[in-house]
Amino acid sequence: MEIFLKDIEDVNNENRQYAQKRKIVGLLNKSEKPLTIPGICKKVKLSVPTGTKLINELIDDKVIVESGKKETNNGRRPSLYKVDSNFAYCIGVVVLLKGISFSVYNLDMHEVFKFQDDDFVLENTPGCLDRVVAFIQKAISTSGINPGRVLGMGMGITGRVNSKTGYSHNYFNFLEESLIDFFSAKFSFPVYVDNDTHVLGLAEQYFGKAKDIKNAFVLNLSRGMGLAIIANGELIVGENGFSGEFGHIQFAESDRLCLCGKRGCLGTEVSGYALEQNFQQQVEAGETSLLLTSRESCQIKYVDILKAAANGDSLSISLTHNLGFKLGKALGNMINLLNPGVIIIGGEFVSAKDILIDSIKSGMTHTGLQLPLRSCELIFSSIGADAASKGAAAIVLRSLQLI
């Protein structure tokens, strides 16, 4: 653990060795396959004898382990080495409007423990903050993991959060101190925070479909909407971590009033909330739907509409299609601006991907320029429900360059 936790500010030999060891561990952890000593030494620019020495020390410390010999077609077969993925852990916590989750991952990013409370409701009150702390403490104790083996905890929180300072502007904004300081004082390991959209972007960047792509968009489309932008291989959070307010771009054709106070925000037309509104409006205007047989229109949630669309409900299909087309037009503009290699649609709307894909694409061709459009792929996330959680934990590994 010393390797990861020791500061390397001072210029001296011990610290230099810690830095080199960290580089070796990072390289091994990033690599899909185990590596050989000569391979490692070449990458970290170290001679074979010194590399061997450091690797042997890391084996003594149980950070890395041997894993067989490499098959080659000439020469002596080298031994292979990989990190012991259970040597240390990182924690991902996600706080949403409804529901809170806590997951522990090993260095391989395999989930080794999960704790969840779907009844949790986020409120901007000290009581709610206490509940969050209690929830995490409970989770840690029931998990049975050794806090000394935890490299850190990343938290993804709904709302506007300054990812650099850790100050939150929507929830828990009554705190004098930053969320990072607040939570750091409660736990023995480092704490990091960011908002839910950014955290979802990190998940796609490191474990999802944006893995080897340096410029990508990750759209978080559920009840609300946000856009994580990855450029030059890094998540762009902006000067204060407020980037990604794609839902508040004035781009809708209608001029519905948005929660932010402005009119014409894209989120008033493209979001789960908007889908519900549009559904109700159409029903009031006389349209009909299979969904109405079981419930009142005001009780129908956007996930129901998406499901109905997938099942062939005509009104739901047309509304979803419309939404996709508008989204596509907005995305086409963003393509002109940032020239991403891939756009990944994540969030609850993934369930309607068969309907959305073509409508988004046709919207994109309306606004996108040929050259950047041609090189931009549109795909849907396949990372699953715990993407945000993985992304939150990824903040920890990123800060240690283990990823």
Residue numbers of the site for DNA (CB under 7 A)? 11-14, 16-17, 36-39, 46-53, 69, 72-79
Q: In whole angstroms, how close is the CB of 97 to a copy of itself at the nearest point? A: 19
Q: Report the partner that residue 375 touches, choosing among a copy of itself, DNA, none (CB closer than 5 to 8 A by kind).
A: a copy of itself
Q: In whole angstroms, how close is the CB of 38 to a copy of itself at the nearest point? A: 10
Q: In whole angstroms, how close is the CB of 341 to a copy of itself at the nearest point? A: 4
Q: Report the partner that residue 337 touches, choosing among a copy of itself, DNA, none (CB closer than 5 to 8 A by kind).
A: a copy of itself
Q: Report the partner that residue 69 touches, choosing among a copy of itself, DNA, none (CB closer than 5 to 8 A by kind).
A: DNA
CA distance 285 to 301: 19
End-to-end alpha-carbon separation of the chain, Å?
17
Q: Report the partner that residue 159 touches, choosing among DNA, a copy of itself, none (CB closer than 5 to 8 A by kind).
A: none
Q: Which is nearer to DNA, 65 or 175 (CB)?
A: 65
Q: In whole angstroms, how close is the CB of 215 to DNA at the nearest point? A: 35
Q: Which is nearer to a copy of itself, 47 or 73 (CB)?
A: 47
One-letter amino acid at 53 equals K
Q: Which is nearer to a copy of itself, 24 or 315 (CB)?
A: 24
Q: Report the partner that residue 169 touches, choosing among DNA, a copy of itself, none (CB closer than 5 to 8 A by kind).
A: a copy of itself
Q: In whole angstroms, how close is the CB of 134 to a copy of itself at the nearest point? A: 30
Q: In whole angstroms, how close is the CB of 54 to DNA at the nearest point? A: 8
Q: Which is nearer to DNA, 55 or 200 (CB)?
A: 55
Q: In whole angstroms, how close is the CB of 399 to DNA at the nearest point? A: 25
Q: Which is nearer to a copy of itself, 83 or 229 (CB)?
A: 229
Q: Report the partner that residue 351 touches, choosing among a copy of itself, DNA, none (CB closer than 5 to 8 A by kind).
A: none
Q: Which is nearer to DNA, 65 or 213 (CB)?
A: 65
Q: In whole angstroms, how close is the CB of 25 to DNA at the nearest point? A: 16
Q: Which is nearer to DNA, 38 or 233 (CB)?
A: 38
Q: Which is nearer to a copy of itself, 122 or 225 (CB)?
A: 225
Instruction: List contacts with a copy of itself (CB under 8 A).
Output: 11, 16, 41-42, 45-47, 160, 169, 213-215, 227, 229, 231-232, 234, 236-246, 248-251, 260, 262, 329, 332-334, 336-341, 366-367, 369, 371-372, 375-376
Q: How many CB atoms lie within 10 A of CB 154?
A: 27
- SS3 string of the chain? CHHHHCCCCCCCHHHHHHHHHHHHHHHHHHCCCCEEHHHHHHHHCCCHHHHHHHHHHHHHCCCEEEEEECCCCCCCCCEEEEECCCCCEEEEEEECCEEEEEEEEECCCCEEEEEEEEEEECCCCHHHHHHHHHHHHHHHHHHCCCHHHEEEEEEEECCCECCCCCCECCCCCCCCCCHHHHHHHHCCCCEEEEEHHHHHHHHHHHHCCCCCCCCEEEEEECCCEEEEEEECCEEECCCCCCCCCHHHCECCCCCCECCCCCECEHHHCCCHHHHHHHHHHHHHCCCCCHHHHCCCHHHCCHHHHHHHHHCCCHHHHHHHHHHHHHHHHHHHHHHHHHCCCEEEEECHHHHHHHHHHHHHHHHHHHHCCHHHHHCCEEEECCCCCCHHHHHHHHHHHHHCCCC
